[in-house]
Amino acid sequence: MSKRVLSPVNKELNNFHKIVNSKELPSESIFIDIDDVKTKIREFKINEKGFLSLVIKYLTRCENSNWLNVLVSENLENLRINDCLALTNYCRKRKINDELKILKSNLFFSLHYKNYHFSSKSIEYLIDNNLNEIINNLDGYYTSIDSKYISKNKNLKEISDENYLLLKNYSNSSSTNLLVNYYINKIFKKLNGDNDKKLIDSFFSRIKDSTKRYICIDGGNILHCVGGKISTESYKILDDLITKLNKNGYSPILVIHKRHLDTNFIKCSDKSRIKYINKFTSNKDNIFVTPYNKNDDYYILLISLIGGFKIITRDNYGDHINYLKNENKDYYYQIDYLLKDNLVTFELLGKLSSNYNFSFSENINKYYSSCIQKIENEIYIPTDKDHFVKINL
């Protein structure tokens, strides 16, 4: 088999890659001056093939803060994940002159936070470089660390059962989690109605009992749970579900579209469902009726996020997740983790006597959030196996 011949451009890139990543400290005279660097960056189409990233790594290894400050300032929108991490590390571990302000700020951490997900690889980099103060800034951030990495790091161990009692719930708007409020504001923007916030505020003014264990029910989803069709029997299933949750110590909040409660168009053969509708609407404090011409899913998500309540549903709200991630991928993947924490699936087990029985996914009883948590002088980080490890600040 003949050896692949590199083009002159790729050969130059390959050689530069070897120099930058060599064990020996690279020569500081590779480039004539900073204009020579800028020319090369343009020739290699900035970071299309990773040339800018190599330049950043080269300048950090040479500790050329002056050139680094200029080049990074001109290419902020082209920084990759690894660039943000490397620059964060560089700035934290070196004394930077006051005039090089861009290298003295938290800018690179902020760029990573906003534009890229702090995946296991990013968290591993922070741990390996002893950047615990950066991890501290991720309090309330949803991610997980790879268990394979944990097994290789002797300083990381899973927390004991007693430590789980210390973990907190970050999934409501009254917590310190700014991401929750970010998504709440985006949903209100999507609803685009002046009356929507009034409806939500009015609802929460009625449920102020902090001793109750509130949980949302996606009424429309439950009504369609058998064969995808609404019937009188599906209203009974919804009623039995509410009864089951009440017996289990929950205070169910039924979120349901107005059309599902309209008795004017019920056929004579379905009149028996009226008793269920009357029963649902009689509990005025624990029902939220969504208006016509509005998607009830957004109200369900709002009530869940504002109150920090779990949702009984078989829906994964995938279409809404795509909107909440948005085209800029701000806070990418956070909504996936939030919903994973809050969505409780159920199985219909058939009837026990005359009532339906149900089983629920295990997270119905999970009282804490699967996010990075700062507790006193320790940081708790979730793993991909639904456990936590902790590090000391």
Tell me which architecture the domain covering 178-365 has in CATH: 3-Layer(aba) Sandwich (3.40)
Q: How confident is the model at residue 326 (pLDDT cuts 50, 70, 90)?
A: low
Residue 238 · residue 278 · CB < 8 Å = no
Q: How confident is the model at residue 270 (pLDDT cuts 50, 70, 90)?
A: confident
Which range has the worst mean pLDDT, 22-31, 240-249, 262-271? 262-271
**Minimal CA–CA distance to 358: which of 375, 344, 343, 346?**
346
What's the CA gap between 186 and 301, in Å, rounded?
11
pLDDT recorded at residue 377: 92
pLDDT recorded at residue 279: 95
The encoded tokens of residue 384 equal: 């991909």
pLDDT recorded at residue 5: 46
pLDDT recorded at residue 8: 65
* 3: pLDDT strictly greater than 70: no
pLDDT recorded at residue 175: 56
Query: pLDDT tens digits, residue range 24-61?
Result: 888 888 899 999 999 999 988 888 889 999 999 999 99
Taken in order 145, 146, 147, 148, is the CA torsion positive or negative? Answer: negative
pLDDT recorded at residue 101: 62
The pLDDT > 90 percentage for the chain reads 56
* 79: pLDDT strictly greater than 90: yes
pLDDT recorded at residue 209: 86
Mean pLDDT of 197-226: 92
How do the domains of the chain map onto residue ranges? 8-116, 178-365
What's the CA gap between 182 and 187, in Å, rounded?
9
- Prediction pTM value: 0.82
Query: pLDDT tens digits, residue range 113-166?
Result: 888 889 999 999 999 999 998 999 999 898 999 999 999 998 898 999 999 999
pLDDT recorded at residue 328: 55
* 285: pLDDT strictly greater than 50: yes
pLDDT recorded at residue 329: 56
Query: pLDDT tens digits, residue range 299-322?
Result: 999 999 999 899 999 998 888 877
What's the CA gap between 343 and 335, in Å, rounded?
12
